A and B are shown apart, each in its own frame.
Chain A
Amino acid sequence: MEHYKMNLTLKVWRQKNNQSEGSLETYQVKDISSEMSFLEMFDVLNEQLILTGDLPIAFDHDCREGICGMCSMHINGRAHGPWTSNTTCQLHMRAFKDGDTIVVEPWRSKAFPVIKDLMVDRSAFDRVIQAGGFISVNTGNAVDANCLPIDKKNADDAFMAASCIGCGACVATCVNSSAMLFVSAKVSQLALLPQGAPERESRVLNMVAQMDKENFGNCTNTYACEAECPKGISVANIARMNKEYLHASLNTES
């Protein structure tokens, strides 16, 4: 693979805190290697800003290998940037060419208020999980793991749903700021497994109720969430959640 260097213009959202107004600021970076990751390019910019007496840009990141779900940049109008099935930290500079202008913004959603610059507060996701994204089994209550054979297809589908990293790209990319993909992934995982059966109905009802309470919007089937999900979580999970929800609603006396 050919490696090359590039000079870039960056337009980055700067916002002091959640009380203040933000704006896009323009920065130049030079001699960026095509082998760098996108966040390493931000490291270079931040070092440059610190040395010239400016404030570095705050952004969330941690594992830098696409699994923790912490990184969250909206790059040139796309959650996590131009590559598909990819997180911001795994985006590499070979996706860009010399002279490009790149616009970087935080996730935009009422449910994810900006903390500073490109950092947002995604604690709404934790509260949705608190509402029912678990199986109520205390430590020490388990039977032997192989007592419960699970059909391989269901196990595999549950795993695919469980691979959600909770980054929030689905919400950020949705015109309605809907969290249906995130919520349905957890509902699906647990609905597909026999361990999840006892709380199957209360789980979906409670998680959906919390989702609404957190100001996430509704789903209008644009499928943008699936297209931008770094882990390829399928919208089939949303269909499954709707089925679960309907089933639970009809079965529950109100």
Chain B
Amino acid sequence: MAFDSKIPKGEMNEKWNDYKGHVKLVNPANKRKLEVIVVGTGLAGASAAASLGEMGYKVKAFCFQDSPRRAHSIAAQGGINAAKNYQNDGDSVFRLFYDTVKGGDYRSREANVHRLAEVSTSIIDQCVAQGVPFAREYGGLLSNRSFGGTQVQRTFYAAGQTGQQLLLGAYSALERQVALGNVTMYARHEMQDVVMIEDRARGIIARNLVTGELEKHFGHAVLLCSGGYGNVFYLSTNAMGSNVTAAWKAHKKGAFFGNPCFTQIHPTCIPVSGDYQSKLTLMSESLRNDGRIWVPKNKGENRKPVDIPEEERDYYLERRYPAFGNLVPRDVASRASKERCDEGYGVGTTKLAVYLDFADAILRYGKIEAGKMGDHSATEEALIKLGKDVVKEKYGNLFAMYEKITGENPYDMPMRIYPAVHYVMGGLWVDYELQTTVKGLYALGEANFSEHGANRLGASALMQGLADGYFVIPYTLGNYLADEIRTASISTDHPAFIDAEKAVNDRIQTLMNIKGKQTVESFHKRLGLIMWDKCGMARNEKGLNEAIAQIQALKKEFWSDVRIPGEVNGMNPELDKAGRVADFIELGELMCKDALVRNESCGGHFREEYQTEDGEAKRDDENFSFVSAWEYMGESDWKLNKEELKFEIVKPTQRSYK
């Protein structure tokens, strides 16, 4: 099968310009005849559907939620990076490119990352033009903050709701195209399979989740913007409905899966409180700008955090990584908390938590505010009050969310946090044009594997989703569709559509007919535990082999004993969930296989066998400087293809944040 990353020739900073200058174009009259299917309406999907609609293509967009505005991009809190250098602190396209390649632990494709850094600035312009209300300074100009893994302030934000504001911007652009008739929106629909005709993707089978009916939809091209698969761990910060199904069906139809084991475990989430827990909630990384992370120096400490004196606290990130301190990248911060908790220094009832403390920041901000008012004799109490107001303006919604979930007030008491699954760097393998190994089938946003290597930097997911949708796919899709202008719309009575629909229907009937004794949810929880224990923050050969055997057994059990109540012809959330969990089980096995062959530690992938003396990840560039691109061969059978990574500009070095 074709396996070419199609990276343009030429100097790194000229590749994208050259590509755009020579890419094939489709004339307006032909665009009207070309149909494009977009699956998923988060930042990548909504921005792609809106932009392609504006260009004149006939677009059909699908989401499983009741409205495109609810896609999980909406939950992103902290911000979006862009190399604007508005703060005059030395930022540039090159630095954003460099930080992202380094932050990804040298497992991403340089040309893609450079393009991302280049278009980052246009994203901010576009969003502001749409009316996205970013935070501003008193002079009326945009405000920035810093985020983990960087030393410049390049993150644009809207309080702790940046994802919401960006998504509502893209959503409004999408709805405008719906009103103009350029995009047809299918909400409460879920893609069930890709339809292949000869060697190309030509449409999808979707299920109307309200009526239960299967629908056949033709498209000259299919764009999967269906997000990440963190819910394979059951507990994650993803939304309950986030799933891998669209990507997994594409994989089984020939799209290679890239780096499936690269998972991001976010360091600052609210800890698990009990076995009924259905999801985990993130506390934005931006909190690490002002919060200090610590654990007690004494094991088995029972005092309240505020009663533990300064000298008995271990600010372990500041201790281990003096250069970056609390702002080390996510993978490093997560492993450091795990290390402290594993050693017995954890806090809270489960002892699987560390403190994130704002007392110093509150006092510091209080002093600044008092200074502004010329009050140099304010009492500490008054300073704390002033400081709390500042912290509230910056992080108010996050603090309120924390208090709702835990019942504790984080203005007075440090937050308790612990790492949780948050994002997947892995996804469908795509070339420079975002095309998968299946012609006419594209993957955008978190659904693809491309820009973040083995670890994503904070505030880069929003950037990538919008870059792909607004500024990359409008060019690269034209390069494919220019050769499709002679392809008339194919009737959905074509045998390929009929066969695909029948296969989907058969699978649904099989699931319904099992009529077993165990609920879908119980299988999902068991899968999640296997994945978290053996393919989570730390992995080893023995555990991964055990996990593979356990997942295969779980799969057998699922297909013989799952109980799905209700009917096929109508709204049936248990049936929707069963289809997703069945796909997660298969994906889980592939993730473990991928983690098993990667005999090195890099970014979020930490193999216990491969670490330095002081417990840092030990990369092996000689043998593992490649993207794992897995080809589906049959049940539990995959072939590993490798895309060698060549670093022309950023020479791989031991990543150090000390």
Contacts and interface: CB of A to CB of B under 8 A. Distances in A.
Interface of A: 1, 16-17, 33, 35-37, 39-40, 43-44, 47, 49-51, 53-56, 58, 60-70, 83, 85-86, 90, 92, 94, 115-116, 119, 121-123, 125-126, 129-131, 133-146, 148-152, 155-156, 158-159, 162-163, 165-166, 189-190, 193, 195-196
Contacts of B278: 37, 39-40, 43, 64
Interface string B406-426: 111000000000000000000
Interface string B235-250: 0010111000000000
| A-B pairs, 4 with minimum CB distance | A149-B140, A134-B172, A142-B129, A142-B125
Contact of A146 (B86, B276, B400): B86
Contacts of B47: 139
Nearest to B173: A134
Given A61-B240, A70-B65, A40 B571 contact: no
> Chain B, interface size: which category?
35 or more
A60 B171 CA distance: 20
A90 B404 contact: yes
B241 A62 contact: yes
A92 B407 contact: yes
Contact of B172 (A55, A83, A129, A158): A129
A145 B565 contact: no
Contacts of B404: 66, 83, 86, 90, 92
B75 A68 contact: yes
B74 A155 contact: no
B168 A1 contact: no
Interface centre among B51, B72, B240, B241 (most CB of A within 10 A): B240
B573 A58 contact: yes
Contacts of B122: 140, 142
B528 to A, nearest CB: 14
Given A47-B519, A145-B142, A152-B140, A64 B161 contact: no
A162 B133 contact: yes
A1 B474 CA distance: 53
Interface string B329-351: 00000000000000000000000
A165 to B, nearest CB: 8
A64 B282 CA distance: 11
Interface stretch (B175-183, B432-440, B612-620, B622-630): B175-183
B146 to A, nearest CB: 19
A94 B273 CA distance: 14
A39 B278 CA distance: 9
Interface in B448-480: 470-471, 474
A38 to B, nearest CB: 11
B164 interface: yes
Contacts of A126: 67-69, 175, 178, 185, 187
9 contacts: A1-B408, A40-B277, A55-B565, A123-B67, A139-B470, A145-B84, A146-B86, A149-B139, A159-B158
Interface string B47-78: 10011001000000000011111101011000
Contacts of A85: 400
B565 A64 contact: no
Contacts of A67: 74-75, 161, 163-164
Contacts of B125: 142-145
Contact of A123 (B66, B131, B136, B179): B66
